Amino acid sequence: MTLREGARRALGVLLGPLILLSAAAGLAAWQADARLVEGLTLLSLTVAAALAWQFHSSRSLTGAVLLAGIAAAARFPPLSMTPDGRPPLLLPLCLGALVPLNLVVFALARDRGIGNVSGLTRLALVLAQGLAVVHEAQYPNQALATAAGGAVWPWVDAAVLAGCSLFMLLRVYLYGAPLDGGTVGLLAASGLALTTGSPVFVLAGGTSLALSLVQHSYSLAFLDELTGIPARRSLRQELAGLSGRYAIAMIDIDHFKNFNDTYGHDVGDQCLRLVASRLSRVTGGGRAFRYGGEEFTVLFPGKAAKDALEALEQLRRTIEENPMILRGPDRPRRKPMEVSTSKGSAQKVTVTVSIGVAERTDRLPEPEEVIKAADQALYRAKKKGRNQVCR
């Protein structure tokens, strides 16, 4: 993955939270009606919790509970005031560190759903922390209250929030997961809500959480889980909106069954991801999809087959000229202090593909017919010896 690809993917999942936080800042400056903001905040948290329940995401549900805790701490006098009428200094300080840490821990832990021991344990942990913080805020321990009144604690909160945010931004850059982008939005929203006391940032956080769940559901439906490129359902949707001229290329990895039998399915999966990464950089205006198994599709809207040939030939050469490196069984789990130059620790395997391409014509007016023609061209490429492009 190049720096540009990681940045583009990160921007895709962070754009929504950034827009929502900017809008929240505008509402805070505009001093929107408090009751309207509270109603919208309750609605956003309810929608986020309902979506989390629908998608069995305990991570997202606990995020909604944490946001609700922040909103409650600022809204209700039993939480926002001590018995003698003073604001509990320890409450925002504890929330300022606990909320980011909880969000990061839940992002790292495997999400096993809600209605089971793992999901219920997460909720119980969050609720127990909330009760402990509320109790400490109402009946403060003198030593903790003195420490909370010191000048160092706000800096500790700021350091925790900054560290958690940077860690989640790195995860977004590396993996581009929508739920990680939503967590970044939650971190920013919770920090601003606790700093400014404005409920509009809780509203932004709840909406960001709901948006990340929608993006996550889209990824599950339209992106291939193994390779990360658009899946067959996405191809069908794309084809349904096409009109006029277009070309379709069908691509198959040569001898993939033998490759799997020789090196194992884990290495086979690595091979699929490698080919998919090359396909995602196809030129000529093409867009790659995983069709199924070891087959891929590249769609060229507005192009004839002859116009796509150069891009497909370049793609074929790129895959062939960049062999896959198989690590030896004696490879250490950790990187050694000195790099060994002995032979046999790694093996290079050349991966090749066969490609067939066809275009929409009066004789082939439907996408299914163009795909069938491209499949026939692919069969001719294999029959001629593989590792070539045929029309």
Catalytic residues: 294
Question: Are 45 and 67 contacting, i.e. CB atoms less than 8 angstroms apart?
Answer: yes
Crossing angle (nearest 10°) for helices 117-138 and 58-75: 20
Contact status, residue 49 vs residue 78, Cβ threshold 8 Å: no
Give me the residues paired with residue 290 across strands: 296
Structure tokens given for 66: 């944490």
Task: Report whether 381 contacts 249 (CB < 8 A).
Answer: no
Checking 215-222 for CB contacts under 8 A at 24+ apart, the result is 215/13, 215/16, 215/178, 215/181, 215/182, 216/55, 216/57, 216/177, 216/178, 216/179, 217/55, 218/178, 219/178
Q: Return d(Cα 102, Cα 305) in angstroms, integer.
A: 53
Q: Which is it for strands 346-349 and 324-327: parallel, antiparallel or unpaired?
A: antiparallel
Cβ contact 213:52 at 8 Å: yes
